[in-house]
Structure 1
Amino acid sequence: MRADRLLQIILLLQRHPRLSARELAERLEVSTRTVMRDMEALSAAGVPVYTERGRNGGCVLLPGYRADVSGLTPREAQALFAWSGRASLSEELGLRDALQSAMGKLSSTLPLQLQGDAEALSDAIVVDRRRWFAEAEEVGALPALRKAVVTRRRVSLRYASATAGRPVRRTVDPWGLVEQAGRWYLVAAHRGVARMYRVSRIQQVDVRAESAVRPADLDLQEEWQRLRSGLERSLPAGVDVVVRVRPERAELVRRVATPMLAKGEQARDVPAPEDVWPHVALRFRVREAACGVLLGFGGDVEVLQPPDLRAELLRLATAAVEVYSRERVAVKR
């Protein structure tokens, strides 16, 4: 829509003192002729824009001018207010009050109809980022990390790694923060090597005075995907499993197993000829997770395939019986 494009031109010129018609055309994916017509339309509407000819010329917006965001469309207003409903995210970042204040200022510029529709959608949406049966993570270090990322300051961490025997100290260059399925991660460089740090494992964070080293061409999304892919490749091999499940426990088995399944996988029912117990196919991303989940259901779940996993579960169950049998005898004495 042309109204959207005109607003984009104003916003671009607010951020850049001067842009050529070609640069604007490339950013807006239109022709330079269209950009010049839009500049004329803005000027005729009273927006203080003008063009300068010559080698260093371009499209210019009079300094100090600010656009009225009441030009938002109904869908745009609803999208903003729906996102603001993620109160837990802004609270973890230490920005809940700032977000509420900003949305209040924004809503005061909207027509009453847009404001009513946007707030109705916000009130009708709840975002729960926690996994099923999972406790909320402690992310008290997050506000300090946000400050360090924004101001590009180096930080010292006391970090309880999942593999180290005790917490370690690291001085890192913070690049960004990633929220993934309810868990926060810090992407940072330690001695020039990019790593991810789970925020819930950061016991202490001190923002230092020196500037962080950050690549000029850093793409945080691309870096996160690279780190995530590396972690997924390093995990133990997964396993495809077929189980038979006591009918009244089948739905619970599906719910409990789902967070442990490989990316994009779901529990699938498979044919179970002449068996009153349903057969369910599960693709676990980690073999150890399959053992833990399936053993937890005791005799309500029986592994049919693969044979080696069935044998492993028998070995683990036998060892557990021996341990608890000894404990029971000791208690009697």
Structure 2
Amino acid sequence: MKSSRLLSLLLLLQVRPHMTTGEIAARLEVSTRTVLRDVEALSAAGVPVFTQQGRNGGVILLRSARLNLSHLDPAELDALGVAGLDETQRARIGLAAAFGRATSKVDARRATGPGPDRSLAAVVLVDNAPWFAPDSETKVEPESVDVAALAVDLLAGRRLAITYRSSGQSRARRRTVDPCGLVAKAGQWYLVADSGGEPRLFNLRRMLRYSVGDAPARRRAGATLASEWDALRRRTEASGDVVVTARVRTSRIDMATRILGGRLDFVGVPDSAGPGWSLVTVRYREYDAVRHLLQFGENIEVLEPAPAREVMEAVARDLAERHGASPPA
């Protein structure tokens, strides 16, 4: 633990060669007394670092020292390899600390070069969390299995026996799958695996437990995690063959474009119903999926086909009946 803290102290001073003990203590989450002891240990080991008293004092690393701290250990390389994960996801997979060390080493290496920071990281920020996602401090439904442990077990390349509850089902059932890997998508974790010879997605929030078998996982020729995920994503987001025509308030067209995404087939033609309305066409896999349009409330009317309009009418009637009476005591 101390060696890791000493390395963290060096990384901080590589970026900022002059820091107060209070600043270092806050960054390392230790006491100022611990910081002073660590500085003494580094100095005794020959590192050109010292403390200076007074108003402008603090901990100082000589600028002439060019410490080679850019080497990454295996865990840090793994952390950078999945750099697209957010802070919460890295913590769940057990790479939060390694990612912090890796980025500190990169920052330290960059700080030794001449001139200001010209890296893309200074002008590009990646945030893969969905809009309106809860803050990290807000309690969310956790995965039923340990994501980090599962990731390590997948490296063994063996079949898994999982207990899984499919969407819409009240009971879970046990099945044997051939795992390919894990995918983090919009704040959720998924296991990509073959089940019955077909690629499937398993939401880890509905996986109750798993066990690693003795038999090696069966992988189809040429199949990789990236290729399997791409095929599954395309299949999940496929727009379908049911074409629904609706009129939407023109003021809500931007919202329709954002919410409907790839399902939106055509948009923007003024409707004969009058000014302020536009026609759109939306594709779904089945008529019942038209319920998705209910979120537009009074800003939409489904025109055709008749089965889709009947779904909207039935749902609207049910909502009206349940909201027309006083709520139960």
TM category (shorter chain) comes to 0.5 to 0.7
1:214-234 deviations in Å (ceiling 9; x for gaps): 43754232333444555567x
Aligned to 1:258: 260
Any gaps of 5 or more consecutive residues in structure 2?
1-67, 71-79
Aligned to 1:160: 165
> Normalized per residue, which structure has more helix?
1
The answer (yes or no) to whether the contact 2:291–2:311 under 8 Å persists in 1 is no
**1:240 maps to 2:244:** yes
Any gaps of 5 or more consecutive residues in structure 1?
1-67, 71-79
The answer (yes or no) to whether the contact 2:200–2:232 under 8 Å persists in 1 is yes
TM-score between the two structures when normalised by the length of structure 1: 0.56
Give the SS at the match of 2:155: helix
Letter aligned with residue 267 of structure 2: R
Q: How far apart are the structure 2 equivalents of 1:117 and 1:293? A: 46
The answer (yes or no) to whether the contact 1:141–1:203 under 8 Å persists in 2 is no
1:18-57 paired onto structure 2 within 5 Å: none
Q: For the structure 1 residues 240 and 165, does the alpha-carbon distance in structure 2 shift closer, same or farther, using more than 3 Å as the test?
A: same
What number of residue pairs does the alignment pair up?
Answer: 248
Which one of the candidate residues 185, 201, 207 is aligned to 2:206?
201
Q: What's the Cα RMSD here?
A: 4.4
Q: For the structure 1 residues 308 and 227, does the alpha-carbon distance in structure 2 shift closer, same or farther, using more than 3 Å as the test?
A: closer
**1:277 maps to 2:281:** no
Q: How far apart are the structure 2 equivalents of 1:220 and 1:319? A: 44
**1:130 maps to 2:130:** yes
Q: How far apart are the structure 2 equivalents of 1:222 and 1:306? A: 36
Letter aligned with residue 212 of structure 1: P
1:98-247 paired onto structure 2 within 5 Å: 98-110=98-110, 112-113=112-113, 117=117, 121=121, 125-130=125-130, 138-139=142-143, 141-190=146-195, 194-206=199-211, 208=212, 210=214, 212-215=216-219, 217-228=222-233, 237-245=241-249, 247=251
Q: For the structure 1 residues 123 and 331, does the alpha-carbon distance in structure 2 shift closer, same or farther, using more than 3 Å as the test?
A: same
Q: How far apart are the structure 2 equivalents of 1:81 and 1:198? A: 22
1:237-294 deviations in Å (ceiling 9; x for gaps): 44332313274x5555554x325x52xx477322235722231414243455753243
The answer (yes or no) to whether the contact 2:69–2:109 under 8 Å persists in 1 is yes
1:70-128 deviations in Å (ceiling 9; x for gaps): 8xxxxxxxxx7994684344233221111222233344444634896367726851413
Letter aligned with residue 130 of structure 2: R
Offset of residue 315 of structure 1: 3.7
Aligned to 2:291: 292
Letter aligned with residue 243 of structure 2: V
Give the SS at the match of 2:298: helix
Q: How far apart are the structure 2 equivalents of 1:82 and 1:169? A: 30
The answer (yes or no) to whether the contact 1:137–1:200 under 8 Å persists in 2 is yes
Offset of residue 166 of structure 1: 0.2
Q: How far apart are the structure 2 equivalents of 1:175 and 1:117? A: 39
Q: For the structure 1 residues 190 and 304, does the alpha-carbon distance in structure 2 shift closer, same or farther, using more than 3 Å as the test?
A: closer
Q: How far apart are the structure 1 equivalents of 2:207 and 2:287? A: 26
Q: For the structure 1 residues 329 and 178, does the alpha-carbon distance in structure 2 shift closer, same or farther, using more than 3 Å as the test?
A: closer
Q: How far apart are the structure 1 equivalents of 2:307 and 2:178? A: 46
Taking only the aligned residue pairs, the percentage that are identical comes to: 25
Offset of residue 204 of structure 1: 2.4
Aligned to 1:38: none
The answer (yes or no) to whether the contact 1:245–1:300 under 8 Å persists in 2 is yes
Give the SS at the match of 1:155: strand
Give the SS at the match of 1:128: coil
Letter aligned with residue 100 of structure 1: G
